[in-house]
Every structure is written in C-alpha cells, then in structure tokens.
Amino acid sequence: MSDPFVTLKLEPAYRKVATTLTEHITTGTLKLGERLPSELELARRLGVHRSTVREALRELESGGLLRRERGSKLMMVSRPDRDTVASGVTRALTLHEATVAEVWEALTVIEPMVAEFAARRRDAAALATLAAVVESATPGGAMSEGAAGLAAAQAAEFFRALAAVAGNRVLSMSHEPLLQLMASSLHKLVAAVPQARSRIAAAQRRILEAVERGDAVAARDWCGKHVRDYRRGFEVAGIDLALPINSGSARRAGRRSRRL
C-alpha cells in the first residue's frame, strides 16, 4: 500500500500571488473595471518582490482576468473572452482524444436547445446579426482552399450568432470549444462536398425564419436536422468519426463523387 503522506509540493511565490488576486476577483472584492495598485504597491502590501508581482500579473493577464488600458501602467480587472475560456477546454478535450463523433453528439444535444431559446427570446440586435451571418453563406460549387475555410468559418459563426440571440451565456460558452474542435472537420467537409454548402445555407435560412417568427418547436427541430445532417456530410467527405478530432487521421478519403 502506498504511503498517503508525501512531501508537500512547494508553490512558487508568484502562483500564491496569482491565486490571491484570482480569489479577490472571483468573489467580487475586486470589481470589473477596477484598477489595481502599482506593482511596487502590490509588492509592498503582499510582502513579496516586485518581480513576483509582475509574473503573477502576467499570468492573470494571459488568462483574461486582467488587462492594461492603452497608455496606462496599471492593470484593470477584466473578464476572459469567449476564446480564452474555450481554449482551455479545447486543449483538454484534445488531450483526452475526443472523437469527431463525440463532439458531433454533444452538438446535437446543445444546438437544438439554443435554437429553441433563440426563438423564445429574439433579441432584436442579435437577431439582425444572425440574419447577416445567414446572408453571408457561400453558395455551392467548387472553391479554393481559402474559400472553403471561409465557408467553414461561416458555418461555425452561425451557431455563435444563434447563441447570442438565445441570450444564454452558459450555452454560448459551452458550445464554443466544440465549434473550435470541429473547425478542421468542417473545412474538410465543405471543401470535399460542394453540395453541402447549399444544404447548410438552406438549413440556416429555415432556422432563421423559425426564430424570426418565434416558432420555438420549428427552430429546435430544424436545428436538430441541420446538426444531424453534418454526420452524413462527414461520412461523404471521408472523415473518420471514430478517430480523435484533432488527429491527422480525421481526414478526407477523397470520395468527392458521392452525394449527400
């Protein structure tokens, strides 16, 4: 039996400072937009070297909890943006070798509910943005690699804009890592299967129309069909759903002549 009592790991001083500041931010002791004291003042109050404070501030800045306004030497309390939050989850899912199928299955659960909430709430400004995203959909036909990348980006941006209409920050943050992981597969899909782009555009229009008229059931059902249709597209594009989504093996097999 292994000894449960092992030598405690010593934590660097800058990590202790970063942990202390993080606690003050998450508990609301330090408010959003509030400026921190200077590095020298923080070092004096915390009883550490200035270099220790600087390293801690740099860590929190990279994590999105602090930012420095242009022209100011003082750090300000901030909020991590969507990409910063998602990157950690994306990295974790990649390390755990999440498969294309697993990511797709998660989207089939999340996205129809996002569409339903969007139809029920219909924030006017966010709805206008969603309509603009739908209008930007690329028509079918052969395209360059660069154009395929833009088409894939539009497909992912549709789901982001839909979540903005729904107005649920938890759902918006939850699906962002999945959209990031799906990016390479979406790129391969739209490049390999020209007819997929017209199907994607048609489904987006149907979902938008349902959201605009406040039909929550239709919005949910059309979004469910839309996400489920991606699986067939992946198969046609030769993307192995059983392999890790970020592996080079989740590739196009060249079956360009088959149809959805």
Q: What is the pLDDT of residues 42-94, one digit of tens each?
A: 999 999 999 999 999 999 999 899 999 888 889 999 988 888 888 888 889 99
Residue 111 CA to residue 156 CA, distance in Å, equals 11
The full set of domain ranges for the chain reads 13-77, 83-236
Selection from 190, 133, 195 nearest residue 158 by Cα: 133
Percentage of residues of the chain with pLDDT beyond 70 = 90
- What dotted CATH number matches 13-77? 1.10.10.10
Are 13-77 and 83-236 the same fold in CATH? no
For residue range 137-186, what is the model confidence (pLDDT) as tens digits? 866 555 566 788 888 899 999 999 999 999 999 998 889 999 988 888 88
pLDDT at 259 exceeding the cut of 80: no
Answering whether pTM is above 0.95, one says no
Q: What are phi and psi of 99, to 5 degrees?
A: -90, 165
Overall size of the chain counted in residues: 260
Q: Assess if CATH 1.20.120.530 describes domain 83-236.
A: yes
